Amino acid sequence: MEQLVEELSLLLLNGTLLKEVQETLNELNTPAKSSFLTALRRSIENIKTGDYNSSHGWIQVAMDWSWEQLHAMHWKDLPISYRRLYAYTAILDAMVYCKEERYSNAMEAIDRGLLLGAPVLNDSLQRWGSAVSTVIRETNYKRKGQPEFDEKISSLPTKKLKNAELYPADVINTSVEVLHSPPSLLHFKEDYMKKEKPVLIKGCINHWPAMSNRQWSIDYIKSVAGARTVPIEVGLRYTDENWKQDLMSIGDFIDKFILLESEEKEGEKAKGYLAQHQLFDQIPELRKDICIPDYCCLSLNESAPSDAASSDDVSINAWFGPKGTISPLHFDPQHNLLAQVIGEKYIKLYSPEDTPLLYPHETLLTNTSKVDAEFPDLNTFPLFSKATPLECHLTAGDVLYIPPKHWHYVRSLTVSFSVSFWWK
């Protein structure tokens, strides 16, 4: 940590940071961009004299300016330079908070920078994230004399449920093909990827640290990542009108949506879901606990010079939530391995051939069906009854292969943590 602060102080003193900022600003054609540079210069002058209060004030001016630019256009059209500028402000903010030993504030600044910014200064934000997170953990440890541990929390993911609680009334059998040991790469490619056939592989991730020596539980996640800020989907389905996204710490998310939810049993309250988030890029400590399945190296792209896709091309997402989260029926363009680390999920799949029977939204959400896959309104969507679902029940250790463009509906049956791997 001291080393990082020193490293950054040096970059401030020798002008490297300001030079990079100036180069980034040169790439942009935005009015009033000089106000960003002026604010940053002032904040750095204040850091050098130890006037941290004024420094925060100037950083805030620069941050507000870049925040406005981030929101001035659609995310996908946004030049990456704006995200870099935001990252510089986050790094400076975090540095000042660290000098003041306000580590929770530093952590929040870093995560906002990681979520909204882009890599700068040799990926400093990620390194700061790990360092500050360690300081927070150690401080908690010293304060409590032991790692954070709560019996009520740790018993959650292992709680066994009766079948009646797990399955919707009409589902008894798994109709997706089930393999009880991992297939060879060749077998997987020929019989599932090429044939575009879903398959459930039991115990496929039992060798992951997250399933063995560093077994994930709610208290483990809270102690490793509780201070980190993440985007949470609030609402039952992303297709609902009152659905929104909030930023909050994983610790608050666990207290508010995972623990409360299990105490209140079902509860009609809005669900919170840490969904489709690249958590492992943000928190390398958790990335160490999972492994990219070898199958993700397989490609059907015959025109590619090599048959193998690189692991850099695999997009890894976390899906962490209470019992009852729902991902409405939708499809994605890539191959997907959905791995279940904690808890259980019910999944319904439809082949792309059924698309005309599934009533996709006509605009924006064209990859999402208008039909509630579990409780369909057949008066409004009569053709849906002709579609042929495959169903399965994913339990901890399992991996489900979902071929590209296969429709899938997912409901968690318990507190659940899944990790998805998408690749081309």
Ligand X SMILES: O=C(O)CCC(=O)C(=O)O
Binding site for ligand X (CB under 6 A): 319, 327, 332, 336, 338, 408, 410, 418, 420
The residue behind tokens 């995560």 is: 111
How large is the angle between the packed helices 16-26 and 2-13, nearest 10 degrees?
70
Residue 41 DSSP class: H
What's the closest the beta carbon of residue 227 comes to ligand X, in angstroms? 25
374 closest CA partner among 334, 346, 406: 346
Least distance in angstroms from the C-beta of 123 to ligand X:
27
Give the angle subtended at the CA of 285 by the CAs of 313 and 234, to the nearest 5°.
80
Question: Which residue number, 87 or 286, has a Cβ lying nearer to ligand X?
Answer: 286
Smallest distance, ligand X to C-beta of residue 249, A:
21
Quick check: 258 and 268 in contact, CB under 8 A?
no
Q: Which is nearer to ligand X, 36 or 320 (CB)?
A: 320
CB nearer to ligand X: pick between 46 and 327 = 327
Q: Which is nearer to ligand X, 43 or 336 (CB)?
A: 336
Cβ of residue 321: shortest distance to ligand X, in angstroms? Answer: 8
**Which is closer to ligand X, CB of 222 or CB of 348?**
348
Residue with tokens 């870093």, as numbered in its chain: 110
User: Could you tell me the CA-to-CA distances from 99 to 89, 94, 235 in Å, in that order?
Assistant: 15, 9, 39
Please identify, using beta-carbon distances, which residue of 348 and 408 lies nearer to ligand X. 408
Give the nearest distance from C-beta 330 to ligand X in angstroms.
7
Confirm if 383 and 359 have CB atoms less than 8 A apart: yes
Tokens of residue 384, six digits:
């849906």
Nearer to ligand X, 182 or 403 (CB): 403
Report in angstroms how near the CB of residue 10 gets to ligand X at its nearest.
Answer: 43
Report, in Å, the least distance between residue 420 CB and ligand X.
Answer: 3
In the complex, minimum distance from the CB of residue 344 to ligand X, in angstroms, rounded to a whole number: 11
User: Which is closer to ligand X, CB of 114 or CB of 339?
Assistant: 339
* Backbone dihedral angles phi then psi of residue 312, each to the nearest 5 degrees: -65, -20
**In the complex, minimum distance from the CB of residue 410 to ligand X, in angstroms, rounded to a whole number:** 4
Both structure tokens of 184: 């060879």
Which lies closer to ligand X via its Cβ, residue 274 or residue 387?
Answer: 274
Phi first, then psi, for residue 110 (nearest 5°) are -65, -45
Question: Shortest approach of ligand X to residue 233 CB, angstroms?
Answer: 10
Pairing of strands 407-412, 326-330: antiparallel
Nearer to ligand X, 30 or 276 (CB): 276
DSSP 296: G
Residue position matching structure tokens 């051939």 = 353
Q: How far is CA 62 from CA 36, 39, 41, 102, in A?
A: 5, 6, 10, 21
Measured torsion, CA atoms of residues 34, 37, 39, 43, in degrees rounded to the nearest 10 = -170
Query: Scanning the structure block, which residue is given the tokens 């799949």?
Result: 349
Closest Cα partner for 86 from 70, 106, 105, 107? 70
Residue 347 CB, shortest distance to ligand X, in Å, is 8
Collapse the DSSP code of 116 into the 3-class scheme (helix H, G, I; strand E, B; otherwise coil) and give the result: helix
Question: How many angstroms separate the CA atoms of 44 and 59, rounded?
Answer: 9
Q: Which residues pair with 318 in a beta bridge?
A: 277, 419
Q: What is the largest distance, in Å, between two alpha-carbon atoms of the chain? A: 73
66 or 418: whose CB is closer to ligand X? 418
Nearest of 287, 290, 359 to residue 329 by alpha carbon: 359
